[in-house]
A and B are shown apart, each in its own frame.
Chain A
């Protein structure tokens, strides 16, 4: 069981978490946040291992991880 939380308003949509997630758990959202970026969103909860690579590579420190 693992869980990540992406702060939608801090995310700038750089896609690094989407690119580096080894399980493909993160995708880009269709909507926009207040800053006008398309944030990433956590989609495959069952596949997440809580490895925290997404948090490691996130430039905007927008991701928190539980495991």
Chain B
């Protein structure tokens, strides 16, 4: 028998501190696999977000930098411009990218910076206690909208991919939903393409991963996947928005 799957070299031996079934772990692992496949672990620099993935530097075998909340695209821009031969990615959640860091992501995309952005959208602030995020669905309950998000009071969810797709800067924007094995494969392919684009010097690439938060959604991991399929994909349809 031949070994067909083992722990990717892009990960350290550290155990993930995430909750059971959390997709941060899935996204970390897929980035690690792509780094290993492209043989870029030694020259990749990642920028960590603020949020549950704040300790990402513990898990990745490449160099990592911690950015202030929402500022990962700005830090990544600086790193990439000073060290253009390195592969630079930022990893951000929806509170980080779509709320406090909205300005940074829009301008990094508009400039067409040659970086890769992995955007984890789980519609909530997972680490701080499940508060309403800019991506919380209309009617979705959170600790700060216990009877469901009311657009009259809190407005509507922000669709980051659609928003950035109107700009001329980005070279690749895709939203994926890893809710079944095919979706997992699609997610890995999208992450790989986002890194390959950077290697080819094509410019700004962003992959939005519709992610879960079983703890704050108060669901089992399996239920959370069904919830993504049944509710999240209605507001955030998966697909390729930019590929040029």
Contacts and interface: CB of A to CB of B under 8 A. Distances in A.
Contact of A59 (B4, B11, B26, B185): B26
A12 B5 contact: no
Contacts of A65: 3-5
A55 B5 contact: yes
B7 A61 contact: yes
Given A20-B180, A20-B181, A37-B20, A59 B25 contact: yes
Given A14-B221, A16-B221, A56-B185, A2 B1 contact: yes
In the complex, which of the residues B7, B214, B220 has the most CB atoms of chain A within 10 Å of its own CB atom?
Answer: B7
Given A15-B220, A20-B181, A53-B181, A64 B18 contact: no
B167 interface: no
B173 to A, nearest CB: 24
Interface string A52-67: 1101110111011111
A15 to B, nearest CB: 6
Contacts of A1: 1
A52 B4 contact: yes
Nearest to A50: B4
A29 B52 CA distance: 28
B6 A14 contact: no
Contact of A64 (B5, B184, B220): B5
B25 A61 contact: yes
Contacts of B181: 20, 53, 56-57
B4 A13 contact: no
Given A57-B181, A66-B3, 15 more contacts: A1-B1, A12-B19, A13-B20, A14-B21, A15-B221, A53-B181, A56-B5, A56-B184, A57-B26, A59-B23, A60-B15, A61-B29, A64-B5, A65-B4, A66-B4
Interface of B: 1-8, 11, 15-16, 18-23, 25-26, 29, 180-181, 184-185, 214, 220-222, 225
24 contacts: A3-B1, A9-B15, A10-B15, A12-B21, A14-B20, A14-B21, A15-B221, A15-B222, A16-B222, A16-B225, A19-B222, A20-B181, A56-B185, A57-B181, A59-B18, A59-B22, A59-B25, A59-B29, A60-B15, A61-B8, A61-B25, A64-B6, A64-B7, A66-B3
